[in-house]
Structure 1
């Protein structure tokens, strides 16, 4: 295999072990295998693939090119997040229009000034679907971080949070950012820099509310 492009002699990608045509054009990206299995059981009569990215920007950055190589062109992240707004409740949904780039990985493809934006057609479709299903949902900008704890202004095991991270958190709240997660900016920048025909969007179940200090794992099924 070519070390710069490790495709097997029979055309399989190194990590996903998929070949061209193995993944449907419409592809849902999830963090956990359990979530992938749950979603796959609910899809009938429409060719949709569900691909596990793992957690965070680094593993997402590995999966994206292999998924697109194998056929994906319409990618929607289905995950979880913590909101920075007061009103959303655990179990509500957050639809992402764009993301603050604190992920690190996206700097491999574009300078930090390059915006991380969802495709407007995907955002519109997600909003329409949520409205039709009667799901409580919010639409706004997310922040993609490199880690779940300190990167999202949670103190470490000693109760310490570096002041610079608290300052970033306060600024994000002040500027109206809707939520924290760990994948959106990576997804959006990769897709917009790798072809006009690759569309990306994201919808997350809200598990935590950082204003009200609530956390409840709800909304996955919806």
Structure 2
């Protein structure tokens, strides 16, 4: 492999010199521009395959923000490529489905996750736990405690099938999913998503620190969604908390 190729990520298209010390992973590519407003000296990496990446400075440290879209397979590809370029600390931020006591607009921090997706099985056997990094979560807890926002920490459930496992549109499928959600509540999960358990597992196997902090945006039982204004405010707070904690 050539020196140039070894210093360039295959899918995200970034060079080693375009990447910071820390990485924040987001789903929605539109968040890249919005979080960039919370950093200085921002450099936007050339977009490749719809994957947007930018690197900026926060508190004197370089932070890369990269969007993976949706789902565990591509999220771990982005993590894996950034790891190969030198990143050792990862924080996924975005949205999660809320399970009581978490309410719409609350922040939910993953201490670990139930591995109900398939991607993490390619990194470690199913008995391997998906656990967040303790030191990173300590910093996140400290920042959340001073934020004034309601927050919860606990175990996520991570699934592959949004409309088959998490969000029933109607009829028989919704009844089946309601049964699964009762199991989720019985296990005391605080939220569900499609990436966290894979990222936590991959991070451990690669030798990186990783965690997830999300805004609860959909009620798992009523399917009520957070309003646009409330989400915009929560997202701004999420950016500040994430950037402060990851660079602390």
Common topology (TM > 0.5): yes
Query: Could you give the per-residue CA deviations for residues 106-156 of structure 1, whole angstroms, max 9, x where no partner exists?
Result: 00011111111100111111111111221211111101110222221x324
Matches within 5 A, 1:158-197: 159-161=171-173, 165-195=177-207
1:209 equivalent in alignment to 2:223: no
- 1:165 to partner: Cα distance: 4.8
More helix by share: 2
Judge which range, 75-84 or 162-171, deviates more: 162-171
Q: Whole-Å Cα distance in 2 between the matches of residues 169 and 214 of structure 1?
A: 15
- 1:164 to partner: Cα distance: 6.1
RMSD: 2.1
Q: 2:20 aligns with which of 9, 20, 24?
A: 24
State TM-score, norm by structure 2: 0.79
What is the total number of aligned residue pairs between the two structures?
Answer: 213
Q: 1:38 aligns with which of 19, 34, 42?
A: 34
CA contact (8 A) 1:22 1:71 kept: no
1:102 equivalent in alignment to 2:112: no
Q: Whole-Å Cα distance in 1 between the matches of residues 212 and 106 of structure 2?
A: 14
Aligned in 2, Cα 1:9/1:28: closer, same or farther, shift over 3 Å?
Answer: closer
CA contact (8 A) 1:22 1:70 kept: no
Aligned in 2, Cα 1:175/1:33: closer, same or farther, shift over 3 Å?
Answer: same
CA contact (8 A) 1:56 1:147 kept: no
Judge which range, 68-77 or 21-30, deviates more: 21-30
CA contact (8 A) 2:165 2:180 kept: no
Aligned in 2, Cα 1:48/1:159: closer, same or farther, shift over 3 Å?
Answer: same
- 1:162 to partner: Cα distance: 7.7
- 1:208 to partner: Cα distance: 1.4
* Structure 2 residue aligned with 1:63: 78
* Unmatched segments (≥5 aa) in structure 1: none
- 1:211 to partner: Cα distance: 4.0
Q: Whole-Å Cα distance in 2 between the matches of residues 155 and 92 of structure 1?
A: 23
Q: Whole-Å Cα distance in 2 between the matches of residues 150 and 94 of structure 1?
A: 23
State TM-score, norm by structure 1: 0.87
Q: Whole-Å Cα distance in 1 between the matches of residues 107 and 96 of structure 2?
A: 9
* Unmatched segments (≥5 aa) in structure 2: 40-57, 238-248
- 1:210 to partner: Cα distance: 2.2
